[in-house]
A and B are shown apart, each in its own frame.
With several copies, the nearest count.
Chain A
């Protein structure tokens, strides 16, 4: 289920040069799984902006977003107290109903945020959580410490080697010899594709697509899977490894 609601900005703060974190107060009852997203109406923009839920509790949502265009730029200028019109509870989210015992979470860039809520949930279910985070360069890293603070084992890779392992998340997974029996991933398409090819284990991946509505009405975001057409906004954004067609 999804709903429209008004949310009040509690905090809006910079994490890196271009990445911001926003916390919003309001009704969170429609959010049921990590990896779901919200769709944000912005003044003067016709379409809403989809942003993954990084974390949530009763009455509070945390979003992490990168300023890439006019919409996210506008978000970064909003101040506490301002109100936003959100659709919440969108998408399927990650499913933790599986018998994985040693899950690996793989995030790249602004694909990292939805893994945070997921990590919290997996840890709460008593599973040890291995996390690999990939960034371009040290200055772009965020949430490394937050994942550690949760109790995850965190490995960082940077493309330029300025921090952690030099290379991509796949380099890190291979290099660090990480032990896992299942993975959850979110990040840019090339990362997901490389990961898909690099690991044998089963897992889930979260995808992005340009959206008209975000709740399944417009067919703007459809992709083909081995089990038929799926709307990224509704049957996605998370797909099972086994159904993905590249």
Chain B
């Protein structure tokens, strides 16, 4: 009997899933991505979300926003297009209502995803959110393809991305991750510009600009014509960009894009990610992030991984 128990212990040695992002320790690297987890509330009835490493809340702006007209959603092979257009209640309501409500069922530091239409808006929102005790990391979305600032988003030029980074860093004390757009020729130049401008980390990728047409109606499915494409279909692009950026930068990378299994998390970490975000998967399977956290130890054992932090960028 004792033999047997020992054998089982050997078969299932303790694994260490914890990772550290700029001084913020996560129990595990699994982080639901912004826009797919609301402010946490919709998921608390499905499961206790304290099992997560953290989560990134819905992209928040200075003013409340309704977002784009509907339809905002289109189905794709192995993915979806969204053109929500940053619908959110505005930074005031988030601080006054969402964060206090979140505190009742989530006791870990949350990742605050901030968006804006001007450098000043980014700075204003980040400065305010930086003061919130519950916030562990600030994630600055310079990449949303639905939102235009003179046509192009901040995330498509190294200069503009660096300018936002500098402005935000000047008014914050918490680690700032810049979340990049994949819709660019040279992701590395943009990541490095952010790093040089003082970013504490990089998160990538946001959605790719995509489009579907309703062939029966002969017009775009999405009211806004195009939208952000994500889901398992984009995984190989995300892995590539995480790899390129983590090789070129010294700051940590949060990987995101198409992750739907514990294996995907491990692959993303081997590509160079310190933490891994799960986006659209939460929408089609509300338990996705929980199931990934639960599957990680088994997958680690199968692959001979004792500490997840050991495999970051190993490929």
Check if A229 is an interface residue, CB within 8 A of chain B.
Answer: yes
> In whole angstroms, how far apart are the Cα atoms of A41 and B286 in the complex?
12
B residues 89-119 in Cβ contact with A at 8 Å: none
A-B pairs with lowest CB-CB distance, top 8: A213-B283, A220-B73, A210-B71, A210-B73, A219-B87, A216-B42, A217-B42, A212-B73
When distances are taken between beta carbons in the complex, the residues of chain A under 8 Å from B283 are: 47, 212-213, 217-218
When distances are taken between beta carbons in the complex, the residues of chain A under 8 Å from B38 are: 216-217, 219
Shortest Cβ gap from A89 to chain B (Å) = 9
Q: Mark A80-105, 1 if CB is under 8 A from B, else 0.
A: 00000001000000000000000000
Across the interface, name the chain A residue whose C-beta is closest to B223.
A210
Q: List 8 A-B contacts (CB under 8 A).
A: A46-B77, A46-B284, A47-B75, A212-B82, A218-B36, A219-B84, A222-B70, A229-B66
Check if A215 is an interface residue, CB within 8 A of chain B.
Answer: yes
Check if A194 is an interface residue, CB within 8 A of chain B.
Answer: no
Across the interface, name the chain A residue whose C-beta is closest to B43.
A217
When distances are taken between beta carbons in the complex, the residues of chain A under 8 Å from B287 are: 4
When distances are taken between beta carbons in the complex, the residues of chain B under 8 Å from A118 are: none
Check if A238 is an interface residue, CB within 8 A of chain B.
Answer: no
> In whole angstroms, how far apart are the Cα atoms of A210 and B222 in the complex?
10
Instruction: Tell me whether A4 and B75 are in contact (CB under 8 A).
Output: no
When distances are taken between beta carbons in the complex, the residues of chain B under 8 Å from A213 are: 42, 282-284, 286
Instruction: Tell me whether A217 and B36 are in contact (CB under 8 A).
Output: yes
Check if B313 is an interface residue, CB within 8 A of chain A.
Answer: no
Check if A211 is an interface residue, CB within 8 A of chain B.
Answer: yes
When distances are taken between beta carbons in the complex, the residues of chain B under 8 Å from A2 are: 45-46
Check if B58 is an interface residue, CB within 8 A of chain A.
Answer: yes
Known contacts A1-B45, A229-B66, A229-B87, A46 near B78 by CB under 8 Å: yes
When distances are taken between beta carbons in the complex, the residues of chain B under 8 Å from A73 are: none
Across the interface, name the chain B residue whose C-beta is closest to A41.
B284
Check if A66 is an interface residue, CB within 8 A of chain B.
Answer: no
The contact of B76 among A46, A48, A211, A216, by CB within 8 Å, is: A46
- If over half of A's interface residues share one DSSP class (helix, strand or loop), that class is named, otherwise mixed; here it is loop
Across the interface, name the chain B residue whose C-beta is closest to A3.
B46
Across the interface, name the chain A residue whose C-beta is closest to B72.
A220
In the complex, given contacts A217-B283, A221-B73, A222-B67, what are 8 additional A-B residue pairs having Cβ atoms less than 8 angstroms apart? Answer: A46-B284, A48-B284, A210-B71, A212-B72, A212-B73, A213-B283, A219-B58, A229-B87
Total contacts A-B at CB 8 Å: 92
Q: Mark A231-245, 1 if CB is under 8 A from B, else 0.
A: 000100000000000
Check if A226 is an interface residue, CB within 8 A of chain B.
Answer: no
A residues 10-57 in Cβ contact with B at 8 Å: 41, 45-48
Instruction: Tell me whether A220 and B82 are in contact (CB under 8 A).
Output: yes
Instruction: Tell me whether B286 and A209 are in contact (CB under 8 A).
Output: no
**Which residues from chain B sit less than 8 Å from chain A, CB to CB?**
35-38, 42-43, 45-46, 58, 66-67, 70-80, 82, 84, 87, 221, 231-232, 280, 282-287
Check if A148 is an interface residue, CB within 8 A of chain B.
Answer: no
The contact of B80 among A212, A219, A234, by CB within 8 Å, is: A212
Instruction: Tell me whether A46 and B79 are in contact (CB under 8 A).
Output: yes
Instruction: Tell me whether A222 and B45 are in contact (CB under 8 A).
Output: no
Shortest Cβ gap from B64 to chain A (Å) = 9
Check if A224 is an interface residue, CB within 8 A of chain B.
Answer: yes
Across the interface, name the chain A residue whose C-beta is closest to B40.
A217
Shortest Cβ gap from B278 to chain A (Å) = 12
Instruction: Tell me whether B78 and A210 are in contact (CB under 8 A).
Output: no
Across the interface, name the chain B residue whose C-beta is closest to A69.
B216
When distances are taken between beta carbons in the complex, the residues of chain A under 8 Å from B35 are: 218-219
Shortest Cβ gap from A222 to chain B (Å) = 6
> In whole angstroms, how far apart are the Cα atoms of A212 and B87 in the complex?
14
When distances are taken between beta carbons in the complex, the residues of chain A under 8 Å from B43 are: 217
When distances are taken between beta carbons in the complex, the residues of chain A under 8 Å from B42 are: 213, 215-217, 234
Check if A78 is an interface residue, CB within 8 A of chain B.
Answer: no
When distances are taken between beta carbons in the complex, the residues of chain B under 8 Å from A191 are: none
The contact of A223 among B58, B70, B232, by CB within 8 Å, is: B70
> In whole angstroms, how far apart are the Cα atoms of A213 and B82 in the complex?
11
Shortest Cβ gap from A10 to chain B (Å) = 24
When distances are taken between beta carbons in the complex, the residues of chain A under 8 Å from B280 are: 46, 212
The contact of B73 among A1, A41, A211, by CB within 8 Å, is: A211
